[in-house]
DNA sequence: CTCAAAACATGACAATAGTCATGTTTATGT
DNA sequence: ACATAAACATGACTATTGTCATGTTTTGAG
């Protein structure tokens, strides 16, 4: 529930020495899996960078030199078309990996842009070191396979929604996902902890901003949600679920 | 170019003994990567199954017991909505892996249906044996990571197209992909080696069959393509590319 | 606190794609 | 080769969503 302690769930790390297991890193499954000494080694090879609004972590077409992990905040993965339309493929949360994938191999360039949503902190590691780590740690490699597999399923589920559903259903799906992934239970509903404008939502489900605004207004009228960007609350998750899967 | 010999590209396998490196398997990167003896071991754990039209390899919701590789033919990954609409997420070709992903962990069930397009041959392996193989072969694990990463990029690119493009652009994108992935150069154009009806295409790009038919008719009139399902030929790849990325 | 910028809102109209109905052509199995 | 089903085709109409214009409210930096 709360984001602080909970000790470690699996493989209680042996008593730490040297630079202690830093706060905030216990939300990162990939690091949890490593032995204490491997983790120290990996952390020694990672650098932490902070980004703020308006900055980019990397942009579509940039060369892929690093493997990344979100430590704090949210990061959005965006692709644009030539005529300036944008589409948000995924909102990464703490613990999410990016550029853990094939684009990082082959010397290919980034297929999309990564930009911070508010203030974020990101861990980076040279891809060569990352590959070496994976080769030497079957458990870590398995974790990355599991992670990528989940991301693939998620991306395909998203493609299905985009291919088959109407605008209102897509938005309902999005709201359900947000509630499940980043929702905080509150007296009057589930608050979405990520700041999302109607435009952000529109980009996430492939509709125009106007359409997103109109549909959200309807949802508001029907008491399915309340609030706007800074404080969006899901008030009737069940009805949204129903609408999403109709 | 031709699909027959070419010997092996990397790691020329030591002289084989016992059940020789079977024909058709040299198109499967994951197996190429293994040492000769590991490969024999893995092949010993895999069974080959043939499927024909109208059958299913597995269905949405079935438990995930096996890891699969396409050996011959094409397999489509499909998801359906409650009201019977279908969406084809991916056409798998020889060498493609499936259920190599997270759904195979966690005891989750299949997120989609796999069905043969015509006659196909599929290799299967108990997932426990597959995981063991990956743990013991860092090269194989890295290959799976690369493969999943590519699939993820592909799925996200598809999501982008579904989110931002019009029906004609989506179809043009599809045709470009088909030409690149399964095209055979012919005197009058690039023939698509997979049999695809207008309905198949419609399901792949999230439009109705009628819309796919109308747009394909227009493409035909404009000499961008010719032929139908059994013999679809891309006649002007450049113009299709242009339309896809307008 | 103030003011500019961003976010939210709404109407009128246009474009796009879906639906349903019906008909023709092309494959496919026996 | 013939029958039958599947695939392709087309028109008329409808539903959905996009576009553009304009206005209000909220937010956040200084």
Once rounded to an integer, what is the mean pLDDT over residues B115-139? 95
Predicted confidence at residue A22, as pLDDT, reads 62
- The answer, yes or no, to whether residue B182 has pLDDT greater than 90, is yes
Instruction: Name the residue among A25, A200, A6 with its Cα closest to residue A118.
Output: A200
pLDDT in tens, A149-200: 999 999 999 999 999 999 999 999 999 999 999 999 999 999 999 999 999 9
Q: What are φ and ψ of residue B122, in 5° steps?
A: -125, 135
Q: How confident is the model at residue B90 (pLDDT cuts 50, 70, 90)?
A: very high
Q: How confident is the model at residue A139 (pLDDT cuts 50, 70, 90)?
A: very high
Q: Taking CB atoms and an 8 Å cutoff, what residues of chain B touch A96?
A: none
Q: How confident is the model at residue B80 (pLDDT cuts 50, 70, 90)?
A: very high
Q: What are φ and ψ of residue B105, in 5° steps?
A: -85, -170
Q: How confident is the model at residue A103 (pLDDT cuts 50, 70, 90)?
A: low
pLDDT in tens, B7-52: 333 434 444 444 455 667 888 999 999 999 999 999 999 999 999 9
Q: Give A102: exposed, middle or buried? Use CB within 10 Å, 0-12, 13-18, 19+.
A: buried
Q: Taking CB atoms and an 8 Å cutoff, what residues of chain A touch B151?
A: 152
**Which residues lie below 8 Å from residue B126, measured CB to CB, with a gap of 6+?**
B45, B65, B66, B67
Q: Taking CB atoms and an 8 Å cutoff, what residues of chain A touch B135?
A: 138, 142
Distance (Å) of CA B151 to CA B6, B21, B114:
26, 27, 16
- The answer, yes or no, to whether residue A83 has pLDDT greater than 50, is yes
Mean pLDDT, chain A, rounded, equals: 89
Q: Is A60 helix (H, G, I), strand (E, B) or coil?
A: coil
- How far apart, in whole angstroms, are the C-alpha atoms of residue B195 and residue B198? 10
Span CA (B210) to C1' (C22), Å: 13
Residue nearest C8 (alpha carbon to C1'): A213
Instruction: Name the residue among A205, A162, A237, A241 with its Cα closest to residue B79.
Output: A162
Q: Is B20 helix (H, G, I), strand (E, B) or coil?
A: coil
**Which residues lie below 8 Å from residue B7, measured CB to CB, with a gap of 6+?**
none
E strand residue ranges, A133-232? 183-186, 189-192, 225-226
Predicted confidence at residue B23, as pLDDT, reads 64
- The answer, yes or no, to whether residue A9 has pLDDT greater than 60, is no
Q: How confident is the model at residue B224 (pLDDT cuts 50, 70, 90)?
A: very high
Predicted confidence at residue A99, as pLDDT, reads 82
Predicted confidence at residue A101, as pLDDT, reads 76
Q: How confident is the model at residue B98 (pLDDT cuts 50, 70, 90)?
A: very high
- CA angle, corner A142, sides to B152 and B100, nearest 5? 50
Give the whole-number percent of chain A exceeding pLDDT 90: 83
Predicted confidence at residue B16, as pLDDT, reads 41
Residue of B224 and A26 predicted with greater confidence: B224
Give the whole-number percent of chain B exceeding pLDDT 90: 82
Q: How confident is the model at residue B104 (pLDDT cuts 50, 70, 90)?
A: low
**Helices A167-182, A237-244: crossing angle, 10 deg rounding:** 130
B64 contact to strand C (CB, 7 A limit): no
- The answer, yes or no, to whether residue A85 has pLDDT greater than 50, is yes
Span CA (B79) to C1' (C10), Å: 37
Once rounded to an integer, what is the mean pLDDT over residues A86-108? 86
Question: Which nucleotide comes closest to A85 if you measure CA to C1'?
Answer: D18
Q: What's the CA dihedral at A158, A159, A163, A166 to 10 degrees?
A: 20
Residue nearest D27 (alpha carbon to C1'): A230
Predicted confidence at residue B26, as pLDDT, reads 81
**DSSP label at A13?**
P
B217 contact to strand D (CB, 7 A limit): yes
Residue of B208 and B24 predicted with greater confidence: B208
Strands B189-192 and B233-234: antiparallel
**Stated pTM of the model:** 0.91
- CA angle, corner A188, sides to A182 and A193, nearest 5? 20
Give the whole-number percent of chain B exceeding pLDDT 70: 89
- CA angle, corner B162, sides to B161 and B166, nearest 5? 80
Predicted confidence at residue B199, as pLDDT, reads 98
Beta bridge partners of B86: B80
Give the whole-number percent of chain A exceeding pLDDT 70: 89
Q: How far is CA A26 from the centre of its chain?
A: 17
**DSSP label at B24?**
T
- The answer, yes or no, to whether residue A15 has pLDDT greater than 90, is no
Distance from CA of A98 to the nearest CA of B (A): 10
- The answer, yes or no, to whether residue A21 has pLDDT greater than 90, is no
Chain B residue nearest residue A242, CA to CA: B82
Q: What are φ and ψ of residue A75, in 5° steps?
A: -125, 135
């Amino acid at each position: 529930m709360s984001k602080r302690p909970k000790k470690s769930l699996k493989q209680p790390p042996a008593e730490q020495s040297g630079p202690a297991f830093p706060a905030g890193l216990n939300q990162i499954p990939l690091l949890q899996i490593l032995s204490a000494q491997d983790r120290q080694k990996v952390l020694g090879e990672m650098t932490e960078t902070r980004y703020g609004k308006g900055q980019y972590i990397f942009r579509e077409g940039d060369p892929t030199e690093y493997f990344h992990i979100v430590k704090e905040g949210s990061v959005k993965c965006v692709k644009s078309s030539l005529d300036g339309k944008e589409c948000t493929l995924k909102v990464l949360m703490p613990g999410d990996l990016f550029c853990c994938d094939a684009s990082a191999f082959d010397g290919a360039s980034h297929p999309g842009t990564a930009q911070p949503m508010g203030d974020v902190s990101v861990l980076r590691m040279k891809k060569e070191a990352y590959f070496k780590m994976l080769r030497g740690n079957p458990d870590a490699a398995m974790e990355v396979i599991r992670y990528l597999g989940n991301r693939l399923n998620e991306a395909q589920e998203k493609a299905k929604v985009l291919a088959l559903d109407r605008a209102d259903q897509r938005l309902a799906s999005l709201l359900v996902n947000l509630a499940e992934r980043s929702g905080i239970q509150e007296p009057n509903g589930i608050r979405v902890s990520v700041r999302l404008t109607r435009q952000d939502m529109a980009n996430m489900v492939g509709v125009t901003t106007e359409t997103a605004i109109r549909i959200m207004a309807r949802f508001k009228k029907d008491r399915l949600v309340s609030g706007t960007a800074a404080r969006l609350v899901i008030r009737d998750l069940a009805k949204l679920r129903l609408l999403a899967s109709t």
